[in-house]
Amino acid sequence: MRWVVTVFLLLAVLGSNAQGRLLKGSLLDPGGLPVQGVSITVRYTDSSKILAFGISRADGSFLIQNLPDGLRQLIVEFRHISYETRQIIVNSDVPGWVSGHQIQLREKTEALKEVVIKREVPVLIRSDTVVFNANSYRDAEVRKVEDLLKKLQGFSVDPNGRLSFNGKAVEKVLIDGDDLANKAYQLITRNLDAVTVDKVEVINNFSDNRLLRNVEESNKVGVNLKISSRFKSKFSGGLEGGLSIERRYNADMNTIYIKERSKWLMFGSYNNVARDPAGNSGYYYQQEAGQVSEEESGLSGPLVLESGSIVLPSIGEKYTRDNSDLAFAMMNSWKIGKHVRLNGLIGYQDLSMKNRAESWVQTEISNQDQWYVFNAMNIHNREKSLEARVSLQRDGGKNHITAVDLILNGIRQKNLFSNWSGGAVNDSLLENLENGMEGVRLNWKESFLTGGKLLQLLLDVGHNQADQDLTVRSTRYLQYWGLDSSYKFNRQDLAKKKNYCLATVRINGKTDRLQYEYGIRSEYQALGYLSNGLISSLAPKPDLVIGEVAADTRKFDLKAMSKLGMDGIARGWLGISGEVGWETFSTGSVENNFLSYRGGLGYVKNISLLSALRLNYTVRRGFDQYDKFYPDELISGNGLILNGLRFKEPEFSHGLIVTVNSNNLYRQRNWAANFSTMFMPRRYTGGVEAKPEYGIQFFELTHVNKQLNAGFNWEGYLKIIKGKLGGRFSFNSGQYESVVNSIKGVSARAGLRIDGWWVSGFRGAVNSEIKSSVLYSTGRWNRGELNRNWQYEWSFKLKIKPRESFYSALVWHAHKLSQKMVFHGLDLYASRKLGKSLQLTLTGSNLLNTGRLLDKMVMPYSRSETGYVLVARYLLLSINCRF
């Protein structure tokens, strides 16, 4: 007994001096036996915070140390799954209180009930694939797959619906592993209901060709949408219809049928509320073999804030005030044999845009040369397009794949434009432009994997023909130039036929640390033109009949290419690529022969799957697009028709891009930094497209673009502010030197843009988003006066979700797009679930729009401010159901 007492005293002394105050005792069951594994917690009587805790030992004893000092009352709670919870209140100033006390627990009559926790892992990184669980990202604003993808960290979506992940362009969007839409994947992302998607898989190192995945680090990204099992093996879909008193309407349909052997998707949309269901997808079918658009403008860059939610009624903008768009697409993937799969797609669009706008343009060519024009415009653009694709793939699952694509497309465009102008120009103009294009393309790929090497034979042949008819009726008086140059009728017709053939043989291989590719490529293009024109002017000028002119161009090249990638160089991946070839370009009787080449040096240091440092330096001599160079006969003989360029010679260009990015999906943080510089000289001769008042002018143009861009962005979830905080800083500068007919001009500009946003993630019913952008730009146009400009825009979004079945959002946005005008707007969205598969929504656009908006355009030789009157205001009530 003395031994026990001695020990107790020792503990008490230690407890009060070194370990704080302590509690100890023992726990017994009703039979007087010790109870092990009892959880003991200590907290203040007025707080739920646990101050100290302990677990009872096998002999039932417990010891809780480090109790806080002070005189406040404490609750000691004893919990065990087999015994009833017991609480004892003690005063904290009594050290060693429970010592010697035995606390008896009463047995529970009920055992622990079974517990099932419902939740899912939102994101999972698996080898080179990131899997997002769609359920974790769906909210009331997510309707279509594109809305869902915008919520996933790392994705960005451009206005045409093109996707990129971590700054890399997404190649394809697959449905359960099958490619139904080819590159027109916006048809899927903009139409398929997000509710049908179970998981979004982002495949890094994606390749179309299964065999290529084993021999190539592609650095490309593909997205696979895994359809939820409840939408499989049955026909399901969604219907939506809406109307507003402003005569706005929306009708939308999407259906899906997924089985193991066949997949079908069907979409349709008819609306005049600026919902673009196809995202200009036709463009990707019109892309011809070997043609890649390149950055040409030296003064492009974020010099103008693009108003995110306002649709500007500018010419060429599809969706302005009175659009009426019909789109329909059907696509399928069908396993027709053991190893053969047939994919098909047919899409039709009828887009109509009517725009009645008043605008005013203040154009400043230089300090002395300024002119002001007031315009009243009526525009009606209508575009009908039809695209069809049949794709056959034979893949036996072994070492040979055959893929054949047959693509048909046709587009008819009709554009009516009338304009009355006053001010510096007195003008009355009525234009009617009709365009048409039909094309057929066959793409054949054979892939053989032998001895760890992949041999690919690619053949791409096609024919397309285009015609363009333009008639213009006009009276015009240009005050600025003091020209009396009225004319009354102008007709221009151009027909173009193109045949092309591209053949490629390529071998890819890979060892542990080495990846290589080599091959040859040859391309032949023949373009035939037929033009016809007539100008009927007011007296005293005589009519000018251009007559029929036929001409053609031909292009042939033979190129050798190689690529070598080495892993483990400076703890990263180093790649060198090169392509060299001989090109012949003939326009009529003139033949140009030259050597073209392209080279690249790249270094990639993968910090993790989604974090990397990339460096890329490219050099180049040559062109991608020969369609823009016209035969001499057309330029000199019919300048009226063509704004064409004459081929001179290819120039050398080079550029450097450095990017570092980190996307930590689990911590919900990502950042990226980039730097790029480019030097691109070009030399052309051409004929200026001319109105009769100017006559036909020729020029020789040499221009040199120099660009430097740098940016940094960061976005992350911060617990302290209970939300997501983000910021972006971007700087760009450019210099554009041009020599036109020996007159040299130098323009330069620099812009700094800072964006910031905060999206709250409170647990309550109310949340908000604040976004703001500030831009400062300065520039000097053609040795003119230095121009400085501040612009900003901000938006505040209030989101209210008082219960699961109701959601509403109100967006107040303001834009100062030039020095003269601030525009405010108010948008609304509210949705109410009426049942499991029925929903009512109210969408309001520009509810408080205040009238005019100024848009600023910066061109190499001029800058202009254009004002618009906005009337795009509506309140649309829609009903949506799923079946």
Partner 1 sequence: MKTVLLFLLVLSVSANAQNLKIEYQVRFNDMYDRGRNDRLHTGYLLISGGLSRYFTIEKEKYKPKNEHDILIMPDTANQVFINMSTGMLVSQESDIKGKTFFVSDSLYPMKWEIGSEERKIDSLKCVRAECNFRGRKYIAWFTTEIPLPYGPWKMGGLPGLIVDLQDSDENMLVKLKSISNQEQSLAMPSVIKYSKEEHVAEIRKLLKRIKDNARASSTGDCVTCQQQSVVEFFAWEKIPQ
- Residue 117 interacts with partner 1 (CB under 8 A)? yes
How remote is the C-alpha of 133 from its chain's centroid? Answer: 20
Q: What's the CA gap between 831 and 180, in Å, rounded?
A: 32
Altogether, the residues listed in the chain come to a count of: 883
Q: What 3-state class would DSSP assign to 635?
A: helix
247 versus 719: smaller Cβ distance to partner 1: 719
- Angle in degrees, CA 457, 461, 462, rounded to 5: 160
- What residues numbered 603-632 form the site for partner 1, per CB under 8 A? 606, 608-610
Strands 590-608 and 611-621, by their bridges, are antiparallel
Among positions 12, 75, 90, 124, the unique one binding partner 1 when judged by CB under 8 A:
124
Compute the least distance from the CB of residue 40 to partner 1, in Å. Answer: 7
Residue appearing with tokens 């600025």: 480
**Which C-beta is closer to partner 1: that of 62 or that of 736?**
62
Tokens linked to 494: 């151009």
Chain centroid offset of residue 592 CA: 39
- How far apart CA 811 and CA 827 sit, in angstroms, is 5
Instruction: Kindly tell me which of 667 and 820 has the beta carbon lying closer to partner 1.
Output: 667
37 near partner 1 (CB under 8 A): yes
**Cα angle at 427 between 424 and 432, to 5 degrees?**
140
Q: Single out the residue of 71, 89, 112, 720 in contact with partner 1 (rule: CB under 8 A).
A: 112
Peptide bond preceding 802 in cis form (omega within 30 of 0): no
Q: Report 61-100 residues binding partner 1 (CB under 8 A).
A: 77, 79-83, 85
Per CB under 8 A, the segment of 107-115, 344-352, 519-527, 780-788 that binds partner 1 is 107-115
CB of 565 to partner 1, least distance (A): 15
Q: Which of 9, 55, 336, 766 binds partner 1 (CB under 8 A)?
A: 55
Stretch that binds partner 1, among 57-65, 342-350, 442-450, 575-583 (CB under 8 A): 57-65
Give the residue, chosen from 7, 33, 569, 740, that forms a contact with partner 1 under the rule CB under 8 A. Answer: 33
Element (H, E) at 282: helix 282-286
Residue 721 binds partner 1 (CB under 8 A): no
Q: Tell me if 59 contacts partner 1 by CB under 8 A.
A: yes
Beta carbons of 563 and 590 less than 8 angstroms apart = no
Q: Does 49 bind partner 1 (CB under 8 A)?
A: yes
Name which position in 2, 118, 247, 803 contacts partner 1 (CB under 8 A).
Answer: 118
φ/ψ of 299, rounded to 5, equals: -110, 20
Compare residues 59 and 548 and give the one whose CB is closer to partner 1. Answer: 59
C-beta closer to partner 1: residue 116 or 245: 116
- Assess 676 for contact with partner 1 (CB under 8 A): no
Q: Residue 146: helix, strand or coil by DSSP?
A: helix
Nearer to partner 1, 41 or 333 (CB): 41
Stretch that binds partner 1, among 18-26, 30-38, 443-451, 731-739 (CB under 8 A): 30-38
Smallest separation (angstroms) from partner 1 to the CB of 666: 4
Stretch that binds partner 1, among 93-101, 119-127, 805-813, 840-848 (CB under 8 A): 119-127
# binding residues, partner 1 (CB under 8 A): 48
Nearer to partner 1, 36 or 314 (CB): 36
C-beta of residue 731 within 8 angstroms of C-beta of residue 754: no
What secondary structure letter does DSSP report for 482?
T
* Residue closer to partner 1, measured from CB, 286 or 611: 611
Rounded to an integer, what distance in angstroms lies between the CA atom of residue 717 and that of residue 740?
Answer: 53
Selection from 587, 472, 572 nearest residue 528 by Cα: 587
End-to-end CA distance of the chain: 80
Alpha-carbon span 735 to 748, nearest angstrom: 4
Could you give the CA distance from residue 45 to residue 790 in angstroms, rounded to a whole number?
58
Closest CA to 155 of 715, 796, 773: 715
Q: Contact 527/498 with Cβ under 8 angstroms?
A: yes
Closer by beta carbon to partner 1, 43 or else 220 = 43
Q: Binding to partner 1 by residue 48, rule CB under 8 A?
A: yes
Work out how close the CB of 391 gets to partner 1 at its nearest, in angstroms, rounded to a whole number.
28
Q: How far is the CB of 128 from partner 1 (least distance, A)?
A: 9
For 564-590, letters b (16+ CB in 10 Å) and e give ebebeeeebbbbebbbbbebebbbeee
Q: How far apart, in whole angstroms, are the C-alpha atoms of residue 323 and residue 248?
A: 10
CB atoms within 10 A of CB 3: 7
Q: Per rule CB under 8 A, is residue 125 in the interface with partner 1?
A: yes
- The residue among 56 and 359 lying less far from partner 1, judged by its C-beta, is 56
CB of 82 to partner 1, least distance (A): 4
- Binding mask 508-527 toward partner 1 (x if CB under 8 A, else -) reads ----x---------------
Of the pair 41, 490, the CB lying nearest partner 1 is at 41
Pairing of β 168-175 and β 221-227: parallel
Minimal distance in Å, beta carbon 29 to partner 1? 7
Q: 242: part of which helix (H) or strand (E)?
A: strand 235-244
111 binds partner 1 (CB under 8 A): yes
Q: Which is nearer to partner 1, 619 or 660 (CB)?
A: 660
Summarize as ranges the residues that interact with partner 1 (CB under 8 A): 29, 31, 33-41, 48-50, 53-55, 57-59, 77, 79-83, 85, 107, 111-112, 114-119, 121, 124-127, 512, 606, 608-610, 666-667
